[in-house]
Amino acid sequence: MAYYAELYHDVTVEYNRRFFPDNYYGEDWRASPLEHTAYGFQFLKCTGKCEGKCTCFERQDAITQPLVIASDGGLRDWRTWRIEDPVAGMGVFVGSGSHYNVSEILPLDDYSEPNSSLVEIEAAIRALETAMRVKDDGCLPEVRVIILKTDSLRNLVKPMCNHLSDWKKNGYLTPNGEPASPYRDLYYRLEESIIALYIKHGVKTLFHWMPREHNAEADALVHLAMDNYMFGTVSGGQSTTTSFVPPWDQSDDDDDDDGGVSGQEDLHFLAPRDGMRFLLDY
């Protein structure tokens, strides 16, 4: 995806970007997976709005349920692996066996002090680039919401959902003229990706925090990239897989969070639980 800074630098897309499952699946939503797999993609499962047999996923070109894309990033350095040159991996999980899955090394030439935080943000940017590819390819024409699943509360969910609006008003600077975050440029790029999806395809991006153990597919893609780079023949910036299948699907047969108890009063393009349709309201 092209870099949209020149085109969208003065555009603001205002809406609540945090996804809280409680509001639509009830307090016991953790009892079963939120995702439904169809056509090589992951979607939010139906909430029971269908009468009788669910018809939400019968036709790929008619699916309106939000598309779930998971991202993760990791870093191996001297502290963790006793290696002088750090290795950073990014993972984007779209679906089991999907050719849209991403497992690749992030080149660190432009970073004087690389760390896992910046890799997680880069992975989120890569995830939205992947979402743009899916929409550009015309695979899911009726999907209007992307759920970006991440285990990074501090580096992704809180900055993008709680702080970004104020940062943009001040040019990503504090009242003292200092950068609002050491990762200001990365958040700027991530915001540009969100705006590009919204303007080009009418797609809103919501952030969903889940504990690390519930983001295992993206995490596996991260380690696959780093393993292949360190012990194989993959160079920086190259993808190591195009059809990743999680190990647990190959058989024959961060921080504390409120867990989604708060409300999303202004997320008005999602209807109530008894008739939820994920469509934009304009």
Task: Render pLDDT for 174-198 as a digit per residue (tens, 0 to 9).
Answer: 888 899 999 999 999 999 999 999 9
DSSP state of 278: B
Quick one: pLDDT at residue 240?
53
The whole-number pLDDT of residue 265 equals 32
Q: How many CB atoms lie within 10 A of CB 201?
A: 18
Cα separation of 128 and 92, whole Å?
9
Instruction: Provide the pLDDT for residue 91.
Output: 98
Taking the C-alpha atoms of residue 95 and residue 80, their distance in angstroms, rounded to an integer, is: 30
| Residues in the chain with pLDDT values less than 50 | 1-7, 242, 248, 252-282
Report pLDDT for 23. 87
Architecture of domain 16-251: 2-Layer Sandwich (3.30)
Residue type, 179: P
pTM of the model: 0.81
Longest dimension (CA), the chain: 60
Query: CA-to-CA distance for 197 and 212, rounded, in angstroms?
Result: 26
The span from the CA of 37 to the CA of 11, in Å, is 34
- Predicted pLDDT at 169: 85
In 3D, which of 229, 230, 195 has the Cα closest to residue 103? 229
Strands (E), 77-203: 87-93, 102-105, 145-150
